[in-house]
Structure 1
């Protein structure tokens, strides 16, 4: 692996991935973040923490999640063989539980009295509410009103699990505004609260910490795909909003020069319209929510309103490590439209009996699109979540 990409040396001591990341925050909050960083470095090395996390991932989450060969979908597309890393089979239905358990264990060890978070599609909210219920820690989830209406099943799950769901009515009433709202609540008592960020975004140490907890996805997948096919995949791909599921898969393959790595952003109604959230494709470096990254912004540096059919992808920024990987050229970043996403959602459901999250369907859409150009090659897609939460929306949208 290129030393510059090694998790052992990236980020640097200031939380920087090249020119991205860091702590663009007030001095009083920096002290709190440094305390979290110190606690994380200390706790993650202990045998007790590692043993408890490993046990929960195996016996509670159900890891390892399997690899599945999509025979009928591959035949329909022609060309490449399409494989799925089945994170949708995890307890709570997505990859989010991997880092939520880690964050909840950290909060418990630090003696925090409440855990706060934002959520878009609701998967992070459900996973964190689950982990907090398990640890016996109060949980408060901030969610945009549009997403609450769209993702009703996940809202009900959070409430049943005992979490307080706070509707956010400001701005676009979606993910970015939910982050703002949760962060404001966190600032009321950062000493006793922990803001459990839901992706590889935010000020250091969160991009590093969430990546570390998600690396298990790629570590498992790299071993499993070789057992199944006798070789490494020719391509790995995942959807990218904030970027946690993607970085979880990609990290294990950075050192494999022959493995093409592709992140798929949401191009919504088209890159030539304002209705997309293709941050890396159309953005430029800026500062958002306490860190530096590629950002969809106006001439004044303010975040632009963004849009995606997938609530978990409509974020104007992206993880700092993804921003760095874009500049290095190690990862290609492409996009898929709403219509391509919906086509993939239906195709995977009807050909393989697997209903994907709309977020994950963006990556499936790209695999379907590129497969005819790669005869005999193997594509590994991170199916980061299941689509139960999206059923009402898709049925109404497509009039099924």
Structure 2
């Protein structure tokens, strides 16, 4: 079975471009040009150079010895938290800002939940001297204040989304409205493997540098390119898509996706799309989506601002329904404990999103000689206030 996108923009039955007519020219321009532009020698040179000199790639693949000893298996951490801006998001924004320049766009819009994508977008816009507008849910603006301040320092305009749950879904709605109103000069930098084709594929390709590096680094450390398992947290799913990308067709590599169960899968306050979702359309693509019996989107919830999205990227929906990916969900409480545990065992404070991935080792057992790579997608600075309040630090 093929786990990558087909020429029509689908992963199995998921994907496509379900968009209002007003957006068709924007999306079509991108679809026609994105692969051609990405293959230009000048584009590749600029992208690779910025990843190396600006982002700080390659990021280390670190053997977490104390964490490994605790769970009696070999656990490597792909240190995306060491990227400039503190998360994997910048891999994609560097690629998309170069794409926007090739398409002669003069204004950038973005949506953000945890704020990391907003910061990464504002960062590359400052680097290139391009106007930047970031839409962010009012609730997320409050709980991610340091990232809001960073965006403003970088020269971006942060616009609050005040409808619905006032989180990521609503910020995305506002960004799409803006794009409809400004179709000629504006490029929309989507921060995850969601949205209409070609976005899920384009973002996955920009993030695939993660698994490309894992292969090379494992070869040096373990004399083989493939781990037994790759683990990543999934909201929309860009860090996971990047970590899985070069292993999708290698069935010997187990793919583990970890979603946010919030206060419990059946609590009514969750974001575990694989467990609760049914096929639907959100933000321009057909995917698995949390919805009521009559098709209204249900409000997701997670303590981590980056995982409370009611859907999942079409690649991940296909990995789930095809059985290629093993999907687990982790509660707020277990994620917070795992974040504290990693901090105290390895001296690395992870983003709460990433903490969900570390929580699985309490219940999901691995063999002592298994090699497990966890994508440490972001650092915990932005979440310190949440950690402080949760643990009364």
Matching residue of 1:115: 108
> Could you tell me whether the CA contact under 8 Å between 1:104 and 1:131 is conserved in 2?
yes
> Could you tell me whether the CA contact under 8 Å between 2:107 and 2:131 is conserved in 1?
yes
Q: Which aligned runs of 4 or more in structure 1 are off by greater than 3 angstroms?
A: none
Give 1:338's match in structure 2, choosing from 329, 332, 343.
332
- Residue 229 of structure 1 and its aligned partner are, at CA, apart by 2.2
Count of aligned pairs between the two proteins: 392
Unaligned runs of 5+ in 1: none
Unaligned runs of 5+ in 2: none
The CA distance in 2 between the partners of 1:48 and 1:181, in whole Å, is 34
Matching residue of 1:319: 313
The CA distance in 2 between the partners of 1:171 and 1:32, in whole Å, is 26
**Does 2:389 match 1:385?**
no
**Does 2:344 match 1:355?**
no
> Could you tell me whether the CA contact under 8 Å between 2:23 and 2:179 is conserved in 1?
no
Output aligned runs, 1:141-180, within 5 Å.
141-180=134-173
Matching residue of 2:190: 197
- Residue 359 of structure 1 and its aligned partner are, at CA, apart by 0.5
Give 2:174's match in structure 1, choosing from 167, 172, 181.
181
The TM-score, its normalising length taken from structure 1, stands at 0.96
- Residue 368 of structure 1 and its aligned partner are, at CA, apart by 4.4
> Could you tell me whether the CA contact under 8 Å between 2:19 and 2:196 is conserved in 1?
yes
Matching residue of 1:215: 208
Q: Cα RMSD over matched residues?
A: 1.2
Give CA deviations for 1:182-223 in whole Å, capped at 9, x if unaligned.
Answer: 111111111211111110000011001000100010010122
The TM-score, its normalising length taken from structure 2, stands at 0.97
> Could you tell me whether the CA contact under 8 Å between 2:22 and 2:180 is conserved in 1?
no
**Does 2:16 match 1:13?**
no
> Could you tell me whether the CA contact under 8 Å between 1:108 and 1:137 is conserved in 2?
no
**Does 2:91 match 1:98?**
yes
Matching residue of 2:25: 31
- Residue 29 of structure 1 and its aligned partner are, at CA, apart by 1.6
The CA distance in 2 between the partners of 1:241 and 1:132, in whole Å, is 25
- Aligned CA distance change for structure 1 residues 64 and 51 (closer, same or farther; 3 Å): same
> Could you tell me whether the CA contact under 8 Å between 1:234 and 1:377 is conserved in 2?
yes
- Residue 255 of structure 1 and its aligned partner are, at CA, apart by 3.0
Give CA deviations for 1:232-269 in whole Å, capped at 9, x if unaligned.
Answer: 32111000000100010111112332221100000010
